[in-house]
Amino acid sequence: MNMLDKKWLYFLLIIVLLSTILLMCLVPPVSRDALTHHLAVPKLYVQQGGVIELPDIIPSYYPQLLDLIYCIPLMFNNDIVPKYIHFSFALLTAFLVLNYTQKKVGSIYAFFSVLFFLSMPVIVKLSVTVYVDLGLIFFSTASLLCLLKWHEQKTFFWVILAAIFCGLALSTKYNGLISLFLLTFFTPVIYLKMEKKNLSIQFKALGFAFMFFFISIFVFSPWMIKNYIWTKNPVYPLYDNLFNSNDELNNNKTTSKPTMNHFLVRKHVYKEPWWKTALIPVRIFFQGEDDNPKFFDGKLNPLLLILPIFAFVSFRAYKPGQDFFEQKVLLSFSFLYIMSVFFQQDMRIRWIGPAIPPLVILSAYGVKNIFRKILPQIKKNDKGMYIYRGCIFISTAFVFSMMSLNGIYLYKLFKYVDPLLYLSKRVTREEYIEKYRPEFAVLNFSNSNLNENTKLLGLFLGNRGYYSDHEINFNTGDLREIIKKSNTCNDILSELKLLKFTDIVLNYEKFNNWVNVNFSKQEKIIIKDFFNLSVIISFTKGGYGLYHLK
């Protein structure tokens, strides 16, 4: 018996994994998207006592099911609990995977699938951050598996439940639109597989598809109604040119400016040849790297691509089982989801999150096939037993070596997060945050020393406003226009005061680069005069400065 059959080993590794993640969740939030909107927007809602329109924060128009849940602990000034809320969706997804695979491939390989999923680098990274992707992964997986349950039990209830879960996926993140269209397509396919009758049954299959679609949209509708009231676009900022006229777009300063096509970015910015770009759907399993957009800002495991292949390998000695159709649905959903992200936007690993659980399930099938069906064929040959044992050893060593990549990633992330440094009280909360977000020192100073009527202009802070207790605006475009039409530094000062700004927070290095690229020699002189004559320096640290307008 190979080591993959040791249930106690999976229990031990899962406990170690969960304990490590729970420790890493105990530190203050420092991840970018948490500080720009997943915590920043709920914090503003709590301060205002309700959901309000925030035109200067585009992500505030995104679906916010999880973000609103985060409001509850933020009401008690607790920003650690949101991490556990997010992590809980990883555990719920693991339970779905366990429940499905336990019935299909047995408990041993089911526990393998749970360990494989929870230890996946991108899942570990998401589990210790205040994002919403794990919620999207859970709701999409629940919807897909409910449709497969419908195929198995032929009970109408599962279609309705699948549609509700799909609507909740939409309510969590716009990427749920991909799940909506894919699962709407799979609904009639599954029904036709269940009911092999005459041609007229196809109309009923389409009826199920329409029902699935409209129930999902109904669940999602509160977010669409909110956005339509505010922007006349129910899925703002997506497809805004379809809902608003060009004049309206030009007058709406919150609308994002057109950007370079992501394939052109790969070609001209990353200097990537076309064939490398074409291989991105495969490369994501091998070349992922955290915080590096060129390498998809995340990390998977090569086994997630390799093992599902063996779920479909067959010999004459056995035929594909009764689950073969469901396996094809799982593979098709994952493949189409990955390709949809690939063609629509520059690839990020977390954006293909809903494709991961189906591939994990197929990996469980693949491992079982390798050790229970494929390798046993070798024993039928002469001297087969010796070759069989050798193949068992090599296969087990290979799977464990690949799985160890997850362990190495977990160790490196733990070392980077360094929760023991904070939990042992060797550093304060403020010192810990400043270690990862150097702008925090300036924001913390402004919180303690500036009055409540302060309005900050934040320049090149990465839109990270969560740790500012004052109103803060990050629109560099306004400042650029002001400088372009100003003849003296006093003109800049007057225009900023008209916009009710009282102070400026800036990143010195990025601000200087911006000035050098965007302004003429005369304009640079005016900017220099502005900082010499029109403002008073209040505080500087770590490459950031706070300036008070005179």
Query: How far is CA 96 from each of CA 100, 141, 144, 294, 528, rounded to the nearest angstrom?
Result: 6, 8, 11, 32, 60
How confident is the model at residue 199, as a pLDDT? 60
- Of the listed ranges 41-45, 352-356, 373-377, 512-516, the least confidently predicted one is 373-377
Stated pTM of the model:
0.92
44: pLDDT strictly greater than 90: yes
**Which residues does 168 contact at the CB level (< 8 Å), separation at least 6?**
65, 139, 219
DSSP 138-204: HHHHHHHHHHHHHHHH--THHHHHHHHHHHHHHTT-TTHHHHHHHHHHHHHHHHHHH----TTHHHH
Most confident of 21-30, 285-294, 472-481: 21-30
- Of the listed ranges 260-264, 274-278, 304-308, the least confidently predicted one is 260-264
Question: Measured between alpha carbons, how far is 231 from 238 in angstroms, rounded to an integer?
Answer: 11
Whether 275 and 409 map to the same domain: the answer is: yes
Helices 107-118 and 81-105: crossing angle, nearest 10°?
150
Question: Measured between alpha carbons, how far is 539 from 550 in angstroms, rounded to an integer?
Answer: 15
Is 483 inside a domain boundary? yes
**Residue finishing a domain among 226, 253, 280:** 253
255: pLDDT strictly greater than 60: no
Question: Measured between alpha carbons, how far is 323 from 325 in angstroms, rounded to an integer?
Answer: 6
Q: Please give the average per-residue pLDDT across 27-56, as a whole number.
A: 93
* 315 vs 354, higher pLDDT: 354
Query: How far is CA 511 from each of CA 57, 96, 505, rounded to the nearest angstrom?
Result: 21, 48, 10
The closest of 124, 140, 130, 121 to 90, measured between CA atoms, is 124
Range of the domain at 187: 130-253
Burial 429-448 (b: 16+ CB within 10 A, else e): eeebbbeebebbbbbbbbee
Is 74 inside a domain boundary? no
217: pLDDT strictly greater than 70: yes
Task: Show the tokens assigned to 234.
Answer: 């129910």
Is 88 inside a domain boundary? no
Whether 436 and 413 map to the same domain: the answer is: no
**Which residues does 242 contact at the CB level (< 8 Å), separation at least 6?**
233
Whether 389 and 274 map to the same domain: the answer is: yes
331 C-beta neighbours (distance < 10 Å), count: 19
Question: Measured between alpha carbons, how far is 205 from 190 in angstroms, rounded to an integer?
Answer: 9
204: pLDDT strictly greater than 60: yes
Is 49 inside a domain boundary? no
3-class secondary structure, 459:
strand
Whether 379 and 476 map to the same domain: the answer is: no
How confident is the model at residue 111, as a pLDDT? 93
Q: Please give the average per-residue pLDDT across 190-218, as a whole number.
A: 84
**Residue finishing a domain among 221, 253, 285:** 253
Q: Which long-range contacts (CB under 8 A, 24 or more apart) does 126-129 make?
A: 126/86, 126/90, 126/350, 126/353, 127/21, 127/25, 127/86, 127/87, 127/90, 128/21, 128/24, 128/25, 128/83, 128/87, 128/413, 128/417, 129/29, 129/31, 129/33, 129/34, 129/83, 129/86
Is 107 inside a domain boundary? no
256: pLDDT strictly greater than 70: no
Q: Which helix (H) or strand (E) holds 546?
A: strand 544-549
Alpha-helix runs per DSSP H in 373-428: 384-417, 419-423
Whether 277 and 180 map to the same domain: the answer is: no
How confident is the model at residue 426, as a pLDDT? 94
400: pLDDT strictly greater than 90: no
The closest of 123, 131, 28 to 86, measured between CA atoms, is 131
- Say how many domains are in the chain: 3
Whether 274 and 249 map to the same domain: the answer is: no
Whether 330 and 438 map to the same domain: the answer is: no
Is 85 inside a domain boundary? no
Is 396 inside a domain boundary? yes
Instruction: Kindly report, residue by residue over 423-461, the tens digit of the pLDDT.
Output: 999 999 999 999 999 999 999 999 999 998 899 999 999
How confident is the model at residue 198, as a pLDDT? 61
- Of the listed ranges 232-236, 260-264, 282-286, 321-325, the least confidently predicted one is 321-325
227: pLDDT strictly greater than 90: yes
Whether 463 and 409 map to the same domain: the answer is: no
**Residue finishing a domain among 194, 223, 253:** 253
Whether 370 and 295 map to the same domain: the answer is: yes
Whether 540 and 476 map to the same domain: the answer is: yes
Task: Show the tokens assigned to 123.
Answer: 């899942």
How confident is the model at residue 4, as a pLDDT? 64
Whether 386 and 437 map to the same domain: the answer is: no
Q: Please give the average per-residue pLDDT across 334-360, as a whole number.
A: 94
Task: Show the tokens assigned to 74.
Answer: 């933020």
Question: Measured between alpha carbons, how far is 130 from 70 in angstroms, rounded to an integer?
Answer: 9
Question: Measured between alpha carbons, how far is 539 from 505 in angstroms, rounded to an integer?
Answer: 9
286: pLDDT strictly greater than 70: yes
Question: Measured between alpha carbons, how far is 246 from 251 in angstroms, rounded to an integer?
Answer: 9
How confident is the model at residue 249, as a pLDDT? 42
Question: Measured between alpha carbons, how far is 45 from 53 in angstroms, rounded to an integer?
Answer: 10
385: pLDDT strictly greater than 60: yes
- Of the listed ranges 152-156, 230-234, 524-528, the least confidently predicted one is 152-156
**Which residues does 92 contact at the CB level (< 8 Å), separation at least 6?**
138
Is 488 inside a domain boundary? yes
How confident is the model at residue 383, as a pLDDT? 62
Q: Please give the average per-residue pLDDT across 266-282, as a whole number.
A: 89
How confident is the model at residue 254, as a pLDDT? 44
Instruction: Kindly report, residue by residue over 487-501, the tens digit of the pLDDT.
Output: 899 999 999 999 999
CATH code assigned at 471: 3.40.50.12610
Give the model's confidence band at 380: pLDDT under 50 very low, under 70 low, under 90 confident, else very high. low
How confident is the model at residue 315, as a pLDDT? 55
Whether 277 and 409 map to the same domain: the answer is: yes
